[in-house]
Amino acid sequence: MTLDPSAVGAKGDPTRRSWTSKDSLLYAVGVGAGTSELAFTTENTKDTPQRVLPTQAVILGGGGVPLQKAGEFNPALMVHGTEGIELYREIPPEGEIESVGEITGIWDKGKAGVIEMESTATLVDSGEKLFKVKMSLFCRGAGDFGGDRGPTPTFELPDRAPDHQVTYATREDQALTYRLSGDRNPLHSDPSFAKMGGFDRPILHGLCTYGFTGRALLHTLCDSDPSRFKSMDGRFSKPVMPGDELTISMWVDGKKALFQTKNQDGDVVLDQGECTFA
């Protein structure tokens, strides 16, 4: 199985996605939000209008990418590489978007191939751009097709203690809650499928780890105000198991922060993190 670099630049047909207030509440609970975050986990709390976690963009968007044109790969051997969001305005609790996606890169990493893509979402009722989602897939067994290895990003954390640290515990059943927001990949729920991918048990969705990390950034850097959250990028470096504890460290420079997420053993699970905020 190999990927096809000639697919770079291919755009998909526009796709539509709608969501409800309930969907937004379920997403928030799926990434660990609780009773101290009622603006995101309830819709009828006194003097507390419902709002949406910025990282919900990864669930709503990303559509319209013609992934079938990228070549052949085994989904059981595919893991999430990177994820990024850029928000043009605050996401409403309910609405409908139209997304147009594009394959932006296909790289040959030897025994694996990487597919990069992005998708821009527009609100159907107003025509206003809402957000852009960027991501890459690391496809084991789909390399060695003679393509370019691609750029090597540089990332260096400041040589000082982080300005902020937040620790969240994930639940043993976290993946079972998160998957109800739409990602039903059995890698995160079916023990037999997880073993096919080389894991001794189902792993947590990378985007769930991303959501936990985004909550820490939102509450710490934006005073819990989603309208101030502008962008977030990161690279998944190690799988997280349901029940793991996540510590998010942040180094702030003006309206930009670098961040890194580690598990309870000190292993980096989300790296090369950058966030911008107003």
Q: Domains of the chain: which residue ranges?
A: 5-277
Establish whether 203 is a catalytic residue.
yes
Q: Determine the pLDDT at residue 129.
A: 97
Under the banding of pLDDT at 50, 70 and 90, the label for residue 62 is confident
Find tokens 């085994």 and name the residue: 74
| Predicted confidence (pLDDT) at residue 264 exceeds the cutoff of 90 | yes
Under the banding of pLDDT at 50, 70 and 90, the label for residue 278 is very high
Contact indicator for 95, 123 with CB cutoff of 8 Å: yes
Under the banding of pLDDT at 50, 70 and 90, the label for residue 117 is very high
Establish whether 206 is a catalytic residue.
yes
Under the banding of pLDDT at 50, 70 and 90, the label for residue 34 is very high
Q: Determine the pLDDT at residue 89.
A: 97
Contacts with 151 (C-beta within 8 Å, 6 or more apart), sequence order: none
Contact indicator for 101, 132 with CB cutoff of 8 Å: no
- Out of 59, 85, 97, 203, the active site residue is 203
- Out of 206, 211, 214, 234, the active site residue is 206
Percent over 70 (pLDDT), the chain: 100
DSSP designation for 271: E
Least confident residue range of 34-38, 143-147, 256-260: 143-147
Q: What are the pLDDT digits (tens) for 82-101?
A: 999 999 999 999 999 999 99
Under the banding of pLDDT at 50, 70 and 90, the label for residue 21 is very high
- Out of 4, 23, 108, 183, the active site residue is 183
Token digits for 119? 């998708």
| Predicted confidence (pLDDT) at residue 161 exceeds the cutoff of 80 | yes
- Please give the mean pLDDT across all residues of the chain: 95
| Predicted confidence (pLDDT) at residue 76 exceeds the cutoff of 80 | no
Q: Determine the pLDDT at residue 154.
A: 85
Under the banding of pLDDT at 50, 70 and 90, the label for residue 234 is very high
- Out of 84, 85, 188, 244, the active site residue is 188
| Predicted confidence (pLDDT) at residue 201 exceeds the cutoff of 90 | yes
What are the strands, taking DSSP E only, across 141-267? 164-169, 229-236, 245-253, 256-262
* CATH architecture group of domain 5-277: Roll (3.10)
Establish whether 164 is a catalytic residue.
no
Establish whether 188 is a catalytic residue.
yes
